[in-house]
Structure 1
Amino acid sequence: MESAPDPRGVLYPARLPAIERFSPGPGLQELVSWFWLVDWNIAPGRTSRQELLPFPQMNLVIEPEGITLSGPASGASHRDLAGSSWAVSAMLRPAATQALNVSPAELLDQEIQFSAPGLLASITRMKTQPGHGNSGSACAELFDSWLTAHLPAATSSGLQANKLLDTVAAERGIVRVSQLAHRLSLSTRSLQRISERYLGLAPLAVIRRYRLQEAAHRLRADTAVSIAGIAAEMGYADQAHLAADFRKVLGYSPDTYRKGRT
């Protein structure tokens, strides 16, 4: 199970505890994007705020307190870490929505308890046993095996939703809903229906999420490139349009973000 790093989604990577990411096995690739694992140890009396612009997907998250299914986020979000703990999570692909019989739209910006006591006990045991520091891959493999055994295969409509997400993620030139509909040979209405059913978000929100993630990554990773140049790369008409999206979703300008990018 190979590691699958992705620089997008985390707004300030240097402030985040080290994250391990692992690809799912061949039988689960249509239902899970990757597994991600994180451990943290924050000094007593302090907190570490993790600011995110999450992928437009659900996550199944295992922590010592239990398992939760987190719905998609409507915009930027944050989590305050304190004390010492860990999380083992699966980022779910759109096709997993039907497999889990849930509605992402109803879970927007929410999380619900997920009952899988055997999985929780197994992961907890692996994370707390002596010398668990190298257990990342083993935890991901255990999680993979459980999901493979308990989730049905992706349906044809689920695979279509996967293709929608993959196309937006891979093709920077797509900045309008009409472009995405044409690329997928769908009507605008059909595209909207699929996006809202399997992602819980309108297609334009999905497109903007990826473009903003990519813009944020470029702003912090390559300070030699101008903000106007990054706006052009992301398909924005000009720098002002990128700045407007930044302020609307994140609450500050691209320049402010770049100056505090660590």
Structure 2
Amino acid sequence: MVNPTRGVLYPARLPQFHRLPPTDAARELVVWFWVPEWDVEPGRSSRQEVVGYPALNLVVEPDAVTLSGATTRSSHRDLRGTSWAVGAMLRPAAVAALVDDPSSLVDGERVLDEPELRAAVVAAMSSGEGHRERAVDAFSAWIAARVGEPGDVALQANTLVDVLLGESAATSPEEAATRLAVSVRTLQRLAHRYVGLSPAAMIRRRRLQDAAERLRVGPGADLAALAAELGYADHAHLTRDFRSVLGIAPRTYRADAAD
């Protein structure tokens, strides 16, 4: 199972946070649902920093529904007051029904007019014990009805992401194309249409997440050995990747995450 805080740069600073699976009706459409709930003292804020998965997220909050694109850099959000969010990390098969060009949403977001989804999730989150599970049930039912049965190409895009991001993931676009028995060009078209990023960018993001997680849970890890294990050319390559996305060096991140 994937670490439930993978992609979160500083898990110890999280508010109450849960990752829940979709119902069977939405299993080809949603990887998982994530549900943070927070209660921050008046006049204070809690900054949450994330190096997100190369995927789109559909997020319901009490006053809005937002579609967020895949990201190429780390991002943060300052939580204030008392509230919650219910987000669905989308599988590629769900994307085409929600946006024509996911590349237009890379590192951005769009507010959607989906009052039925918002009302259903708000009602569930206000329903007492078991509210998170009821919110996931309502969200799963809505997205299954909204998207419908995914076609063969959409399912192929799901498999593409599994090959690029899953267990024993491919280390290059060429390897991924071979596993899928398609050309590299077809792989690129699928990634552009259903994710908005290139296969190479998706591999780089997965590798950086792996590096951040390993540094966080193994503070004594040798950086040169870690770089070689994860497919970086050398220690300097790992450091450049960290700096370009996170703005800090791996050693600095490791020290900060241990605080």
Q: Does TM, scored on the shorter chain, surpass 0.5? A: yes
Q: Is 110-119 or 20-29 further displaced after alignment?
A: 110-119
Count of residue correspondences:
258
2:172 aligned residue: 176
Could you tell me how far apart the structure 1 residues matched to 2:82 and 2:169 are? 42
| Equivalent of 2:106 in 105, 108, 121 | 108
Could you tell me how far apart the structure 2 residues matched to 1:97 and 1:192 are? 16
Q: Is 233-242 or 83-92 further displaced after alignment?
A: 233-242
1:194 aligned residue: 190
| 1:253 paired to 2:243 | no
Structure 1 stretches lacking a partner, 5+ long: none
Report the CA distance shift for 1:171/1:127 in structure 2 as closer, same or farther (over 3 A): closer
Could you tell me how far apart the structure 2 residues matched to 1:75 and 1:154 are? 30
Say if 1:172 and 1:211, in contact at 8 Å, map to a contact too: no
Is the partner of 2:49 in helix, strand or coil?
A: strand
| Equivalent of 1:57 in 55, 58, 68 | 55
| Equivalent of 2:88 in 69, 87, 90 | 90
RMSD of aligned Cα (Å): 1.8
2:25 aligned residue: 27
Say if 1:58 and 1:70, in contact at 8 Å, map to a contact too: yes
- Per the normalisation by structure 2, the TM-score is 0.93
Identity, in percent, stands at 46
Could you tell me how far apart the structure 2 residues matched to 1:110 and 1:241 are? 27
Say if 2:72 and 2:245, in contact at 8 Å, map to a contact too: no
Shift of 1:206: 0.3
Say if 1:174 and 1:235, in contact at 8 Å, map to a contact too: no
Structure 2 stretches lacking a partner, 5+ long: none
| 1:241 paired to 2:234 | no
The 5 A counterparts of 1:109-188 are 109-129=107-127, 132-171=128-167, 174-188=170-184
Could you tell me how far apart the structure 2 residues matched to 1:241 and 1:225 are? 17
Is the partner of 1:34 in helix, strand or coil?
A: strand
Q: Is 95-104 or 195-204 further displaced after alignment?
A: 95-104
Shift of 1:162: 1.1
- Per the normalisation by structure 1, the TM-score is 0.92
Q: Which runs of 4 or more aligned residues in structure 1 lie more than 6 Å from their structure 2 counterparts after TM superposition?
A: none
